[in-house]
Amino acid sequence: MGYENTKRQIWLPLLLALAVVVGIFIGSSLHRSNTPTALFFPNSGSDKIQSVLKLIQDEYVDTVSVKRLEEKALEAIAKGLDPHTVYIPAEKLAEVNEPLDGEFSGIGVHFNVTSDTVVVISTVPGGPSVKVGVMPGDRIVTVNGKIIAGVKMDQDSIVKRLRGPNGSKVKIGLKRSEVKELIDVTITRDRIPLYSIDASYMVNDSIGYIKIARFARSTYQEFFEATNKLHKQGMKSVILDLRGNTGGFLDQAVQIANEFLPAGRLIVYTQGNARPRQNLYSDGKATCKNDKVVILIDEFSASASEILAGALQDNDKGTIIGRRSFGKGLVQEQIPLADNSALRLTVARYYTPTGRSIQKHYTFGSEEEYAMEISNRYAHGEFEQVDSIKFADSLKYKTPGGKIVYGGGGIMPDIFIPLDTIGINRYFRVVSARNLIYRYAFSVTDSRRNVLAKFKNVVELENYLNTINVLKGFETYARNNKVVAKPGELKVCGKIIETQLKAYIARDILDNDGFYPIISRIDNTLQKAISILKGDTGISQSKSKGGKKNIFALLLTKPRAMQLARNKA
């Protein structure tokens, strides 16, 4: 496909790449005092910036906010450095820190917006909403006396109304099926945990699966508890899924790598202009050192994900499967400033045990070029053919076991899995673009909630779903929404649609413990990992079988992206 034909298709990966850049500024955390820095600008003979601001304040034709200009100046300074240095305004700091802090203050619900109405999908066990009787399926009609049902309102605005300071109260009016009057409840907001491990379960009698969504403050503890649970269930091999994991705290990745390595192995080292080299070694207390391990990565695995994957790859522990990772090899330190804003400043580079820097190329101050890099990989065929990836000889490194690995732009997997396009046809793209698959799945959940709630495991739930033929019901639903399958189209994409329907319904009832075991069946990368651990030692590189397809379908319809459907408050 020529470059001209891909211009429209490039915009989505550009947006996704920008999201990754935003999401991995805190690629690691180095210890320092939390005392706010009093002044951002050091005193100098000229004090040029302060002088210019004072001149504007005194002489400018109109009244302007000097504070706003200061904020813009700080943002511009950060943008003039590397792509991962960022200035965070005070009003944004809590929101930015939240995913990695591992908790937020709210009412303890997962919700979706359906027909401009907030619908409670599930409640946090023991959380504030459970304590006052909020139930899955309830519609939130009013918040503090103001109607939000039937009102065009973006999800961020809804979240802001439901969340608030710990201990504060919010009055909510609920509409419940078969109850005529609104049910008014007053909820006292509390700390709600944000878990960084999405799922951990046994694939079979000996293979465990752990999905790590990000490296937050609690990730290692969550990982330790997950492996302890799975070992008790017979785990001898483990699949670590880092796809879409844009990073987090360096120490959390190091501690997890430590669980797989014998004593004295180098895990990672960091070094910067003002930071002498710091080596981090394994301590020999590994609880998973006898386990076989496969790590799944993709183009959105970044930062701490790459540290973990690189540490195991360079120590000849396990197999890396997927596609080349993002390529973020820079270390940030978050420095608090006097007005409760912060600067995330790149202070060092990190290197894998063989000495690889996996930071991809960037030009100072060129955000757009950096953000487009993932899109360019797609345009050059890298998502489909391993042969399209070229490395200079100077970027080759050798592990102690003799394996060739590469630096200079992400972690290259041992086994390449192309972006899967099988089953992606016109009908699937249309129903996906209109969100009909999720909407129908929710309608099934909502109309059969009392029946579905009785099932306590995914096997029982799926057996029931097989009796009601969700795919046939979906075909009718899509037709009613003016999307009709042409002859043969459902035969091509029906398995994917049916699997997604079941996975969405299972997630609404059983959370991720229901979602992942079902969606894994159409996950080629995961299935390859399972076959490797079962003893299929073939290391041949996979080839794409579907040809180039619409990038919207390719990037938005796979298991990682399917996690975007729910909100937390």
Q: Output the six-digit token pair for 10.
A: 């490039």
pLDDT digits (tens, 9 = 90+) for 41-64: 444 445 888 899 999 999 999 999
The yes-or-no verdict on residue 349 having pLDDT over 90 is yes
- Could you count the other beta carbons within 10 Å of the beta carbon of residue 165? 7
Residue 564 burial (10 A CB sphere; 0-12, 13-18, 19+):
exposed
**Partner residues linked to 215 by β-bridges:** 248
465 and 418 Cβ atoms separated by less than 8 Å: no
Q: Output the six-digit token pair for 241.
A: 């899924």
Tokens 């298709």, residue?
A: 9
Residue 111: what are its φ and ψ, rounded to 5°?
-140, 160
Q: Is 122 labeled as catalytic in the residue annotation?
A: no
pLDDT digits (tens, 9 = 90+) for 263-281: 999 999 999 999 999 999 9
280 and 308 Cβ atoms separated by less than 8 Å: no
Give me the mean pLDDT over the 361-385 stretch: 85
* Of 157-166, 389-398, 557-566, minimum mean pLDDT range: 557-566
**Partner residues linked to 173 by β-bridges:** 142, 184
* Of 67-81, 167-181, 319-333, 374-388, minimum mean pLDDT range: 374-388
341 and 89 Cβ atoms separated by less than 8 Å: yes
The CATH fold assigned to 103-193 is Pdz3 Domain (2.30.42)
Give me the mean pLDDT over the 479-486 stretch: 96
Give me the mean pLDDT over the 349-371 stretch: 90
Catalytic residue among 317, 328, 360, 502: 328
Give me the mean pLDDT over the 289-300 stretch: 97
Please identify, in words, the CATH class of the domain defined by 197-416: alpha beta
pLDDT digits (tens, 9 = 90+) for 517-527: 999 999 999 99
Can you give the pLDDT at residue 364?
82
Residues of the chain with CATH 2.30.42.10: 103-193
List, in sequence order, every beta strand (DSSP E) within 124-236: 139-143, 146-147, 169-175, 183-188, 190-193, 197-202, 207-212
498 and 470 Cβ atoms separated by less than 8 Å: yes
Q: What is the DSSP string of 307-331?
A: HHHHHHHHTT-SEEEES------EE
Considering 7-21, 88-102, 140-154, 302-316, the range whose residues carry the highest mean pLDDT is 302-316
d(CA 126, CA 513): 18
Can you give the pLDDT at residue 152?
87
Average model confidence (pLDDT) across the chain: 87
* Of 23-27, 264-268, 461-465, minimum mean pLDDT range: 23-27
Amino acid at 478: A
Name the DSSP class of 359: P
Q: Which residue has the higher pLDDT, 401 or 551?
A: 401
Task: Report in angstroms the alpha-carbon separations of 137 from 129, 332, 446.
Answer: 13, 42, 6
Phi-psi region of 81 (alpha: psi -120 to 50; beta: other; left: phi over 0): beta
Q: Which residue has the higher pLDDT, 553 or 289?
A: 289
Q: Is 146 labeled as catalytic in the residue annotation?
A: no
Can you give the pLDDT at residue 36?
52
d(CA 382, CA 360): 15
The pLDDT confidence band at residue 532, using thresholds 50, 70 and 90, is very high
Q: Is 482 labeled as catalytic in the residue annotation?
A: no
Q: Output the six-digit token pair for 340.
A: 């409760």
The pLDDT confidence band at residue 25, using thresholds 50, 70 and 90, is very low
Q: Output the six-digit token pair for 403.
A: 């394996």
Give me the mean pLDDT over the 177-205 stretch: 94
397 and 407 Cβ atoms separated by less than 8 Å: yes
The yes-or-no verdict on residue 21 having pLDDT over 70 is no
Catalytic residue among 314, 420, 508, 523: 314
Give me the mean pLDDT over the 1-19 stretch: 39
The yes-or-no verdict on residue 101 having pLDDT over 80 is yes
Residues of the chain with CATH 3.90.226.10: 197-416
- Identify the three-state secondary structure at position 293: strand
Q: Output the six-digit token pair for 459.
A: 């096997």
> Global pTM?
0.86
List the helix and strand counts (H, then E) for the chain.
20, 22
Residue 495: what are its φ and ψ, rounded to 5°?
-65, -40
Can you give the pLDDT at residue 411?
96
The yes-or-no verdict on residue 200 having pLDDT over 80 is yes
Choose among 374, 521, 400: nearest CA to 24.
Answer: 374
Task: Report in angstroms the alpha-carbon separations of 276 from 270, 306, 332, 348.
Answer: 8, 22, 15, 9
Catalytic residue among 303, 305, 375, 432: 303
The yes-or-no verdict on residue 39 having pLDDT over 70 is no
pLDDT digits (tens, 9 = 90+) for 213-263: 999 999 999 999 999 999 999 999 999 999 999 999 999 999 999 999 999
Q: Which helix (H) or strand (E) holds 465?
A: helix 458-468
Phi-psi region of 419 (alpha: psi -120 to 50; beta: other; left: phi over 0): beta
Q: Which helix (H) or strand (E) holds 271?
A: strand 266-272
Q: Are strands 567-568 and 109-114 parallel, antiparallel or unpaired?
A: antiparallel
pLDDT digits (tens, 9 = 90+) for 120-159: 999 998 899 999 999 999 999 999 999 999 988 888 899 9
For the chain, give the percent of residues with pLDDT over 70.
86
- Could you count the other beta carbons within 10 Å of the beta carbon of residue 47? 13
Name the DSSP class of 248: B
The yes-or-no verdict on residue 541 having pLDDT over 80 is no
Choose among 8, 75, 21, 1: nearest CA to 369.
Answer: 21
Q: What is the DSSP string of 22-78?
A: HHTTTS-------PPBS-SSPP-SS-HHHHHHHHHHHH-SS---HHHHHHHHHHHHH
